Copies of this chain bind each other. A is one copy, B any other.
Amino acid sequence: MAEQIEFDQAHQTLQEVSDALDNGRFVFVRRQLQSMEPEDIAHLLEASPRKSREVLWQLTDPEDYGEILDELSEDVKDNLVSKMAPGKLAEATEGMDTDDVAYVLRSLPNKVSREVLSQMDAADRLRVETALSYPEDTAGGIMNTDVTTIRGDVDIDVVLRYMRMKGELPEATDTLYVIDDDDRLIGNLSLTTLLTTQPDVPVIEVMSHADEAIAVDLSDTDVASLFERRNWVSAPVVDQNQHLVGRITIDDVVDIIREDAEHSMMSLAGLDDDEDTFAPVVKSARRRSIWLGVNVLAALAAASVSNMFEATLEQMAAIAVLMTIVPSMGGVAGNQTVALVIRGLALGYIGDSNRKELLMKEAAIGFLNGILWALIIGAIVVFWKHDWMLGFIISAAMLTNLFVAGVAGVTIPVILKKMNIDPALAGGMALTTITDVVGLSVFLGLATIFLL
């Protein structure tokens, strides 16, 4: 009888294993690991601090290594693989998908990866070498080469007998590929069609024509986007001569979809997509300090603006007190627009045809919210500082800055994209710099003109 899954179980196991590790109860941990599914061990490794992770890896049954490596994120995978002997690694690759073996080998020093290759059996080696010949962020890099092909001129009955003779089909097979005499892809026969068709019908009559095959050099992001839109479970990959070279399955695509979607958030914060939650301190600190360095320039730009108005600040401390409010509101409003535009660009919703509409819309939103918050902040400042002119000045600066934020929030990511700079990486920082500089200039400038 089916047992319903206790979802919190994973966290409980994590806690138990972690306690047992701390107390040196390695036998218990080893037994726990033996009773777990490879994908759950992968999750446990991801959630473990570096040191425990290495101990856990030692205690894991090497038979599971391949399947576990398949599931790990890149940073964590690299870390564990870098400590394995080539012989052990070659053994582990037996349980892995071709594309994942290729990934692991790419991250190794050339000498080690050649050694691993030399210890694999000939058929596997050929497959992996084929995968290695494609760039890793293309269809060729993520495809598997274990396709099941049939001829179009045979009857369904023959296919059924062929299947039983094979005795096993590659994982996640939902379609057989129909090829012609030159190994060119001419159609797909889904397993459901195969099962529901009468035995004496020729394949060519019921197959669907392969009008949509993935080109081997299509980027992985475009592959993911196609899978998502077409609701595919698997898809054939062809080279420029329409020869079938492999197939891509949804499980590899799901990882790309998640990584692409996470990319925006991580990049906006200046992080690597596959930053390991438990990366070593010094490595993380170095990576992140680069981003802080960029922000130092932004912060110094803002300070230089204030510096131009030093005389004004000297005469009225109230201005210094209030001067952070307008940049702050502009930054928040602009980053809302940036987030929306970055998602729109990533999903392909924004192009030449609708950019103007979007700009008008965001400018209008900036203007409306500008009026609202200009009135509110103006009123607060008049009550607080008992100075009508100061209230008027901060209102004018607020309205200007929120309008600029809306316009810049659309134009910055779009321009960055045109310049082939990742808008998710540079967009938020560039926006904040602009809203800081504009907000401070307008507020301090007006104050200098009208208050002194």
**Which A residues are closer than 8 A to B by beta carbons?**
1-5, 7, 10-11, 14-15, 18-19, 37, 39-40, 42-43, 46-49, 71, 160, 163-164, 166-169, 172-174, 184-186, 191-192, 194-199, 210-215, 218, 222, 226-231, 233, 236, 238, 240, 242, 250-251, 254-255, 257-258, 261-262, 264-266, 268-271, 275, 277-279, 281-282, 284-285, 288-289, 291-292, 295-296, 298-300, 302-303, 306-307, 310-311, 313-314, 317-318, 320-325, 327-329, 332-333, 335-336, 338-340, 342-344, 347-354, 357-358, 361, 364-365, 368-369, 372-373, 376-377, 380, 436
Residue from B236, B332, B349, B369 in contact with A277 in the complex, judged by beta carbons closer than 8 Å: B349
Residues of B within 8 A of A324 (CB): 299, 302-303, 306, 324, 327, 436
Q: Bound complex: CA of A192 vs CA of B212, how far in Å?
A: 24
A288–B349 CB distance below 8 A? no
Residues of B within 8 A of A18 (CB): 353-354
A339–B269 CB distance below 8 A? yes
Instruction: Give chain B nearest CB distance to A237 CB in angstroms.
Output: 10
A328–B266 CB distance below 8 A? no
B328–A295 CB distance below 8 A? yes
A351–B265 CB distance below 8 A? no
Q: List 8 A-B contacts (CB under 8 A).
A: A2-B213, A3-B213, A4-B214, A7-B218, A11-B351, A14-B353, A254-B254, A302-B324
B229–A71 CB distance below 8 A? yes
Closest to A254 in B: B228
Residues of B within 8 A of A361 (CB): 49, 278-279, 281, 284
Instruction: Give chain B nearest CB distance to A74 CB in angstroms.
Output: 14
Instruction: Give chain B nearest CB distance to A6 CB in angstroms.
Output: 9
A269–B11 CB distance below 8 A? no
Closest to A307 in B: B321
Instruction: Give chain B nearest CB distance to A189 CB in angstroms.
Output: 11
Instruction: Give chain B nearest CB distance to A368 CB in angstroms.
Output: 4
B5–A49 CB distance below 8 A? no
Residues of B within 8 A of A322 (CB): 303
Q: Bound complex: CA of A42 vs CA of B348, how far in Å?
A: 12
Residues of B within 8 A of A302 (CB): 324-325, 328
Residue from B42, B295, B339, B340 in contact with A329 in the complex, judged by beta carbons closer than 8 Å: B295
Instruction: Give chain B nearest CB distance to A359 CB in angstroms.
Output: 11
A270–B4 CB distance below 8 A? no
Instruction: Give chain B nearest CB distance to A1 CB in angstroms.
Output: 5
B270–A14 CB distance below 8 A? no
B47–A222 CB distance below 8 A? no
Q: Bound complex: CA of A354 vs CA of B185, how far in Å?
A: 51
Residues of B within 8 A of A266 (CB): 339-340, 343
Instruction: Give chain B nearest CB distance to A300 CB in angstroms.
Output: 7
Residue from B71, B191, B350, B436 in contact with A174 in the complex, judged by beta carbons closer than 8 Å: B191
A196–B166 CB distance below 8 A? yes
Other contacts beyond A10-B348, A289-B372: 10, CB < 8 A: A2-B238, A3-B213, A4-B238, A163-B195, A168-B192, A191-B195, A296-B376, A296-B377, A306-B324, A324-B327
Q: Bound complex: CA of A227 vs CA of B46, how far in Å?
A: 17
Residues of B within 8 A of A368 (CB): 281-282, 285
Residues of B within 8 A of A343 (CB): 262, 265-266, 277
Closest to A281 in B: B364
Residues of B within 8 A of A47 (CB): 348-351, 353-354
Residues of B within 8 A of A199 (CB): 164
Instruction: Give chain B nearest CB distance to A292 CB in angstroms.
Output: 6
B231–A233 CB distance below 8 A? no
Instruction: Give chain B nearest CB distance to A179 CB in angstroms.
Output: 10
Q: Bound complex: CA of A191 vs CA of B192, how far in Å?
A: 8
Instruction: Give chain B nearest CB distance to A148 CB in angstroms.
Output: 10
Residue from B195, B226, B231, B369 in contact with A172 in the complex, judged by beta carbons closer than 8 Å: B231
A320–B325 CB distance below 8 A? no
Given contacts A229-B43, A289-B373, contact A336 B196 (CB under 8 A): no
